[in-house]
A and B are shown apart, each in its own frame.
Chain A
Amino acid sequence: MTPAHTAVAGEFHGKKSTTATPVANGRRTGVQQEAPTPADKQPMYADRVKIYPRRIQGTFRRVKWAALWVLLGLYYIGPWLRWDRGPGAPDQALLIDMAGPRAYFFGIEIWPQEVYYLTGLLIFGAIGLFLATAWFGRVWCGFTCPQTVWTDLFMWVERKIEGDRNARMRLDKGPMTGDKAVKKAATHVAWLLIAFATGGAWILYFGDAPTLVREFFTGQASLSVYGFTALFTGTTYLLAGWAREQVCIYMCPWPRFQAAMFDEHSLIVTYEEWRGEPRGGARKDQSFEDRGHCVDCGMCWQVCPTGVDIRKGQQMACIGCALCVDACNSVMPKFGLPPNLITYDSISNQAARARGEPTRYRFFRPRTIAYMVLLAAVAAVMAFSLATRTRLEVNILHDRSPLFVQLSGGGIRNGYTFKILNMAREEKTYALTTAGIPNAELTVIGVQNDPAPNVELEVRPDDIGSFRVFVTAPRESVPAAANDIEFVLTDTYTGETATNATVFSAPGR
């Protein structure tokens, strides 16, 4: 064993002194007396306090359930939707075919080089998120974020098996009994099953769903299918089962800057302090003269999935799910008090109520109008580009060695690698010709041996045709070292034309 030695400055002793007793020489003694003992050491991080959200019923809870079932439904049904694309093409409506390689979204087919549509989609999503936040606060976090949805589902399972808040707290505090072991095991098994269904469904978006499911359970699927299913199962179990609010508070970047999307008209979950304070316990039929309406029942923070006490004001950990609104509204009537002490409303309305003025919700504000315009612009650009995009793409690569060849007849010839991407589902015949150089003639290896002004090229459906194209031009047609030339490709059936400019090299003068 080789212990490491860490030298630190201890107390100053006399030069030759070996005594362990500190020398009381004024300055140092002071330090000695204030020095913390190991028992005083402060931990750097606070331990996680486990949260036991209480069950609650109410308007927002119903909305949350609805969102949960709709979103989970979409997620699980998504891969099973069919979309007929004709023979030889996958008939799955939503499919990211890695081997293909291309992505299918109903009638839209995206090739890898068109991946900028994904960028457009992400921009669209981001602006949509900003707009929703400007209108309704953290409605994304509270109702539709996958972390929220799956955590909610996991909590529901937990509650079904282990009971509500108090029962769960008792269970966790109590000793390990057979009953506790069974309940805990059942919870985790249920969680893992849901996580597996989640991870498994994710894989289905990357292959033909019925085939994949059959292969998966007969052991014929590829290692990557099993690997990714395991990965997504594990992360779902970990994030929704264990990490929960910690994802929102520590891992997610969105809470950190979503406040910038708010203004005083955004609907957010807040506590009406002017009305609630001073708070205190209350009996039934008690007079609420000279005191606030908050009866300090604690329901608002007990139902909170992130353990927030909203009465302390807006805070990062609040995901805006409004369950505390439901909780408070379930208590207020018992005391004959008006609802919405905790309210899902804008700051300006809250202030208006405090002043006794009428409230109104401003849907159109400079901020939301700007977001809407941006959103519409992105959507329009995307739609336009999707509607007008060509299913024919051409790549031309000019030979670099040799740049040109002088032929025995005196002509100059350039070689090109000409690639035609036929993204359509039928075989195409294209007529290729050139423009810009008089009397240029074409030969194509394996297709046309004798030079001619035109050549017909056939490309199989959904494929890339690669051709070695030689262009021969008379010496006098190409006076410069680099001459402009255009390849004009015409679909002989539809008449669709693609023109691509490139260069024709010659000796020059």
Chain B
Amino acid sequence: MADKYVDPLTGTETTGHEWDGIRELNNPLPKWWLYVFYATILFSIVWFILFPAWPSLSGYTQGVLGYSSRERLNAELEEVRQSRSFWMDRFEQSSVEDIAKDPELLNFAMAGGRVIFGDNCAPCHGSGGAGAPGYPILADDEWMWGGSLDAIHQTITYGVRNEHADTRYSEMPAFGADEILEPAQIDAVADYVLSISGQGEAAGGDGETVFAENCVACHGEDARGIPEMGAPNLTDGIWLYGGTKDEIVAQVVKPKHGVMPYWIGRLSDAEIKQAAIYVHSLGGGE
């Protein structure tokens, strides 16, 4: 089709292609468009050389710049650590008590503690320390292992009933499953516990005697709990495993024991301090 034909309507040359009398105008792409297109091709070639680009069977081309998003992330994390180191250093040198007295450090602890709590503690204890059945509420004023800053710090550092050598540890005997107490005694002591927590009268019987013989060692003579033993206060309305009679009986027969992981080694010292201060501030700190 070497015919040169200029379309009289538009004054544009045609490509010489013709279908059923319809001719194709030759309107080339604008030059700027083409040059931009070529520039993108050139750009991609340069990119392939400089940066990781092509997958292979056992890896990928590395690029001559040696760029790696992992390394960049590590570098950025390192930067963050550097920028925080001023505070972290002060943190490590201060006790939690001192930190809580310094408004600046306290502020930093609260901000960091909130994040650490959300990432590590909230799955069991709920956001804001709201707790869940079997997982203690951290926002109330009952502490099985003590609610002072130091006690909280200790609990977070070593956890409860885990495999760490310094973990907090206590276990309540399985009074029913191990047949230490008769079912009638268990029933009586459950009634007694309900009554001292302000939920009804003791139904008589030997509940008080059973309690005095079996329970005061850990829960205390007045049943207010002994933090050193991790034994909860039984006279209030706060129940870890439920406060109905059935739930109390079940706990006496075969107690459930919660486990909390130790955070030493997983969180830095400073982070544990931040978490402790945050938990203390949730409202129940002693």
Contact = CB atoms under 8 A, between A and B. Distances in A.
Indicate whether A and B interact.
Answer: yes
B139 A7 contact: no
Contacts of B14: 10
Given A38-B10, A410-B236, A4 B126 contact: no
Interface in B137-152: 137, 139-142
B205 interface: no
B58 interface: no
Nearest to B8: A35
Interface string A1-44: 11111111111111101101000000000001001111000000
Given A399-B128, A401-B127, A407-B141, A5 B26 contact: yes
B25 interface: yes
Nearest to B1: A18
Given A5-B24, A10-B22, A415 B5 contact: no
B281 A468 contact: yes
Contacts of A38: 10-11
A4 B128 contact: no
Contact of B283 (A9, A17, A36, A470): A470
Contact of A402 (B3, B11, B131): B131
Given A7-B24, A38-B11, A406 B29 contact: no
A37 B141 CA distance: 93
Interface string B245-286: 000000000000000000000000000000000000111100
Nearest to A413: B283
B22 A405 contact: no
Nearest to A409: B236
B203 to A, nearest CB: 22
B27 A4 contact: yes
A8 B7 contact: yes
B17 A401 contact: no
A408 B28 contact: no
Most buried by A among B10, B20, B21, B137: B21
B238 A8 contact: no
B129 interface: yes
B7 A405 contact: no
Given A18-B18, A402-B128, A3 B26 contact: yes
B139 A402 contact: yes
Nearest to A1: B34
A20 B3 CA distance: 9
A48 interface: no
A389 interface: no
Interface in A126-176: none
Contacts, number: 111
Most buried by B among A6, A38, A468: A6
A7 B18 CA distance: 9
A462 to B, nearest CB: 18
B126 to A, nearest CB: 6
Most buried by A among B25, B34, B198: B25
Contact of A405 (B23, B198, B283): B283
Contacts of B20: 15
Contacts of A14: 21
B29 A20 contact: no
A446 B18 CA distance: 88
A13 B21 CA distance: 5
Interface in B1-48: 3, 5, 7-11, 14-15, 17-18, 20-29, 34
B131 A6 contact: no
Q: Sort chain A's interface into a size bin.
A: 35 or more
Contacts of A9: 22
A279 B10 CA distance: 46
B27 A408 contact: no
Contact of B24 (A1, A6, A11): A6
A2 B18 contact: no
A213 B23 CA distance: 67
B154 interface: no
Nearest to B143: A408
A401 B130 contact: yes
A7 B22 contact: yes
A4 B25 CA distance: 9
Interface string A451-468: 000000000000000001
Interface string A431-449: 0000000000000011000
Contacts of B236: 407-410
Contacts of B240: none
Contact of A10 (B9, B34, B283, B284): B9
B8 A37 contact: yes
B5 A401 contact: no
Given A38-B10, A402-B128, A408-B140, A3 B22 contact: no
B237 A408 contact: yes
B128 A10 contact: no
A312 interface: no
B27 A402 contact: no
A220 to B, nearest CB: 25
B233 interface: yes
B14 to A, nearest CB: 8
Given A35-B9, A415-B139, A4 B29 contact: yes
Contacts of A284: none
B229 interface: no
A38 B25 CA distance: 15
B29 to A, nearest CB: 5
A413 B21 CA distance: 89
Given A4-B28, A18-B18, A10 B23 contact: yes
A400 interface: yes
B106 interface: yes
Contact of A7 (B8, B25, B131, B235): B25
A17 B21 contact: yes
B140 A8 contact: no
A399 B126 CA distance: 13
A401 B128 contact: yes
Given A405-B140, A406-B238, A445-B281, A2 B29 contact: yes
Given A4-B28, A7-B23, A401-B128, 13 more contacts: A2-B34, A3-B29, A5-B15, A17-B21, A32-B8, A37-B11, A399-B128, A402-B126, A406-B140, A408-B235, A408-B236, A410-B236, A470-B283
Interface of A: 1-15, 17-18, 20, 32, 35-38, 399-402, 405-410, 413, 415, 445-446, 468, 470
9 contacts: A3-B15, A3-B28, A3-B29, A10-B9, A14-B21, A37-B8, A406-B140, A409-B141, A468-B283
Interface of B: 3, 5, 7-11, 14-15, 17-18, 20-29, 34, 103, 106, 126-131, 137, 139-142, 198, 233, 235-238, 281-284
